[in-house]
Amino acid sequence: MNKILLFIISLIFFRISEANDIRTSTIIQNCNVCHTEKYKKSSSIKSLKTLEKDYFLTKMYEYKKENKNGVMNRILDPINILDIIEMADYLYGK
Amino acid sequence: MENSKNTRRKFLHYIKNFFLLSFLSQFFFVKNLKAKNIKPKVIVIGSGFGGGTCIKFLSKYSKILDLHVIDKYTQIQTCPFSNLVIGNVMDYKDITFDINKNLEAKFHTGQIKYINSEKKRIYFSDDLSMDYDFLILSPGIGFKKNQIDGYSIDDESFVPHCWTGNKKILEFKKRLNSLDDGSSLVISAPEYPYRCPPAPYERASMIANYLMKKKKQFKIFILDSKNSFTKKEIFFNEWKKKYNNSIEWISKKDGGKVINVNNGVVTTEGGLKFSSDFLHIIPNQQASEIFHNSKLTSDDWCSINPINFEITGSKDIYALGDSIDAGDMPKSSFSANSQAKMLSMNLVNKILEKDYVEPVFLNTCYSFSSTDRAFSITSWYRLNSQKNRIVSLGSKESNVDASDFDRLRESKEAHDWYENITKMIYS
Ligand SMILES: Cc1cc2nc3c(=O)[nH]c(=O)nc-3n(C[C@H](O)[C@H](O)[C@H](O)COP(=O)(O)OP(=O)(O)OC[C@H]3O[C@@H](n4cnc5c(N)ncnc54)[C@H](O)[C@@H]3O)c2cc1C
C-alpha cells in the first residue's frame, strides 16, 4: 500500500495529464457505458458501484503501471492519478 | 386638504386593486399551470443505441419532464454483433431485443416523416401529429442514392446490405449458405464517413469464418472506395493467419472503387472487372431521411453544437448518434451511448436552469476476425478550444502481433461489453 501511495504522490507532482480538466462525473458517465451493472456472473467487466475503494484504486494503479496494451490500459492512458483519486472519492466517498 | 385626501384614497384604491389583481392572476396562473401540466414535453425519436440511452437516463427525471418515445419498430435488432450472426457465432435471437417499456415514459410505435421546427410539431407517416417542447433525434443513418450505376438499394435481387437493424439478415445468411465450393464474393466498402468504420472488414472476416466452418473454398474481394481503413494492419495479419489470404483488399488508388454493376459483373473506377457469386454492396451513407425531409440539414450529416447537441439553427431540437457530424468521433453505438449521456445531462441542466457541463466522450470499438479472436480501438474525446468541435485525444489500437491469449481475452471482453450495453438499454 505504501508503494502505491508513493507512486500516486509522485505522479501527482510529476505527470501532466491531457485530461486534467475533465470533470470527474462526466468521466464516470463514460466508464458506465460498460461498468454500470454486472449482468452476468462470469462477466469480466465489473460494476463500479459494487467495488471497494481500495480495490478500485489498486486496480486502476495496476492498469496504469503495467506494460500491457489492453483496453483498460489504453482507456486509462490520458487519465492521471489525480483524476483517479477524484473518481474514487466521487464513487466511494472521501 | 381635499387634494391630499383624494390622493390617499386613490393610493389605497390602487393598493387594493393591486392585491386583488395579483391574487387573481396568481390563482389563474396556478390553475392554468395545473391544467396545462407544466412539465416540458420531451420526445425522443429512435429507441436504438443513442435514443435508448437518452430514454434510460431521462426517465429518471419524470418529476420534471414528460417523456415520450417513438420508434417505428417494437423490437430492436442491433447492428453490433450482427456480423457474428452472419459468422454463425451467435443466433439472430441473441441480437434482438424488445424495447424496454418499463420506464417512466410514454411509448408510441410509428414512423416520423416530418418535423415542423417552427410549430414544434412532428408528423407521423399516417399524418397524425404531436407537439413537443424539446425534441431528441437519434434515428440512425440514411443511404445516398445513385452512387453506383445499375445498383439500387430497393432492388431485392441484390444481397441485402444489412447496415440497419432489420430482419434481412436471415435473407443474407440464406444466400451465403447457398454458395458452392470455390465461390467468388465481392464486398463493396463505402466512402467515409459511415456507420461503424471497421464493420465491412469484420463482415468479410465473419463471412470467411462461416464458409471455412462449412469447409468451403472461397475468395473474398473487398473493393474499397477508400485508401485505408481502421485497424487495417491487424485485419491483414488476422486474415493471413486465419484465412490463408482468401480475403483480398483492393484500395481506391489501386482502382477498387465500384462504379458499375451489370448482370453480376462489377466494374471499378480502375477498369477492373469482377464476376461474383455473391455481390454485397455496402452503400454510401448520410444522415437519416428525416433530417433532409425536415430541412434540418443541407449537408450529408447534421451539424450540432457539441456542448448540448442542439441542431445548428434549430432551437430545442437535439440530435445524436450516427446522423450527426460528431467531429473526430466515429459512428458507433459506444459513441452514441456516450453522446446520449452528455446530451441528457445538459438537457436536464437546461430544464433546471443550471449551467451546462463541458462534455467528454469515450469510444471503444471491438472487431472480430473469427469466433474467438477480437481486437479493439479506443479513444477519449473532448471539445476543442473554440468549443465547437469534438476532437480525439488520440486513438490507440490492440497490438498487431498480439498473442492468441490476448485475442481470446478481447473477444470475451467484447461479448461482456455487448451484454452490458444492451442490458443497460433494453432491460
Ligand atoms: C455491421 C455493423 C456492426 C456494428 N458493430 C458495432 C460494434 O461492434 N460496436 C459499436 O459500438 N457500434 C457498432 N456498430 C454501429 C452501431 O450500430 C451504430 O453506431 C448505432 O446503432 C448508432 O445508434 P443510433 O441511435 O444513431 O441509431 P440506431 O441504433 O440505428 O437507432 C435508430 C432507431 O431509430 C428508429 N427510427 C429511425 N427512423 C425513424 C423514424 N423516421 N421514425 C421512428 N423511428 C425511427 C429505428 O427503428 C431505430 O430503432 C455497427 C454497425 C454495423 C452496421
Mean pLDDT of chain B: 93
Phi, psi of B211 (to 5 degrees): -65, -35
pLDDT > 70: what percent of chain B?
91
**What is the band of B427 on the pLDDT scale with cuts at 50, 70, 90?**
confident
So what's the pLDDT on residue B35? 46
Distance CA B87, CA B162 (A): 14
Which CATH number is correct for A2-35+45-92, 1.20.120, 1.25.40, 1.10.760, 1.10.357?
A: 1.10.760
Which among B201, B214, B192 has a CA at the least distance from the CA of B247?
Answer: B201
Using CB atoms, pick whichever of B341, B358, B406 lies closest to residue A29. B341
Q: Which residues of B touch A (CB under 8 A)?
A: 334, 337-338, 341-342, 345, 357-362, 364, 376, 378, 380, 382, 393-394, 396, 398-399, 402, 406, 409-410, 412-413, 416-417, 419-421, 423-424, 427
So what's the pLDDT on residue B33? 40
Q: Are B151 and B261 in contact (CB under 8 A)?
A: yes
Using CB atoms, pick whichever of A19, A34, A77 lies closest to residue B420. A34
pLDDT at B329 over 90: yes
pLDDT at B164 over 90: yes
Query: How does pLDDT run across B165-224, given as a tens digit for each residue?
Result: 888 999 999 999 999 999 999 999 999 999 999 999 999 999 999 999 999 999 999 999
Distance CA B303, CA B305 (A): 7
Contacts of A66 in chain B (CB under 8 A): none
Q: Are B308 and B343 in contact (CB under 8 A)?
A: yes
Average of pLDDT values for B341-370?
A: 96
Distance CA A66, CA A82 (A): 18
Q: Which long-range contacts (CB under 8 A, 24 or more apart) does B159-164 make?
A: B159/B278, B159/B279, B159/B280, B159/B281, B161/B280, B161/B281, B161/B282, B161/B283, B162/B82, B162/B86, B163/B79, B163/B195, B163/B282, B163/B283, B163/B285, B164/B79, B164/B140
| Cis, peptide link before residue B160, omega less than 30° from 0 | no
Residue B218: all three cell numbers together = 472461397
Average of pLDDT values for B61-79?
A: 97
**A46-55, B27-36, B40-49: which is most confident:** B40-49
Residue B227: all three cell numbers together = 485508401
List of domains in chain B: 41-140+288-426 (3.50.50.60), 169-285 (3.50.50.60)
pLDDT at B412 over 90: yes
So what's the pLDDT on residue B160? 97
Average of pLDDT values for B420-425?
A: 94
Which among B80, B164, B136 has a CA at the least distance from the CA of B335?
Answer: B80
Distance CA B76, CA B47 (A): 8
**What is the band of B19 on the pLDDT scale with cuts at 50, 70, 90?**
very low
pLDDT at B360 over 80: yes
- The domain spans of chain A are 2-35+45-92
Distance CA B38, CA B15 (A): 31
**Gap from CA of B177 to ligand 1 centroid (Å):** 26
- Where in B156-243 does DSSP place strands (E)? 183-189, 218-224
Which among B391, B384, B386, B381 has a CA at the least distance from the CA of B327?
Answer: B391
pLDDT at B34 over 70: no
The angle formed by the CA atoms of residues B342, B346 and B352, to the nearest 5 degrees, is 150
So what's the pLDDT on residue B264? 87
Distance CA B187, CA B223 (A): 6
**Gap from CA of B364 to ligand 1 centroid (Å):** 16
The stretches in chain A having pLDDT less than 50 are 10, 12-22
B109 pairs with which residues across the strands?
A: B71
Q: Looking at the complex, does the CB of residue A43 fall below 8 Å from at least one CB of chain B?
A: yes
pLDDT > 90: what percent of chain B?
89
Contacts of B382 in chain A (CB under 8 A): 19, 22
Query: How does pLDDT run across B103-123, given as a tens digit for each residue?
Result: 999 999 999 999 999 999 999
So what's the pLDDT on residue B2? 43
The helix/strand/coil state of B263 is coil
Ligand 1 pocket, residue B288 CB under 6 Å: yes
> Taking the model in full, what pTM does it have?
0.90
Which among B113, B80, B83, B78 has a CA at the least distance from the CA of B98?
Answer: B78
So what's the pLDDT on residue B310? 98
pLDDT at B25 over 60: no
Average of pLDDT values for B251-263?
A: 97
The helix/strand/coil state of B45 is strand
Q: In ligand 1, which atom is closest to the CA atom of B331?
A: 19
Query: How does pLDDT run across B376-398, given as a tens digit for each residue?
Result: 999 999 999 999 999 999 999 99
- Strands in B247-250's sheet, in edge-to-edge order, are B247-250, B218-224, B183-189, B278-281
Distance CA B210, CA A56 (A): 40
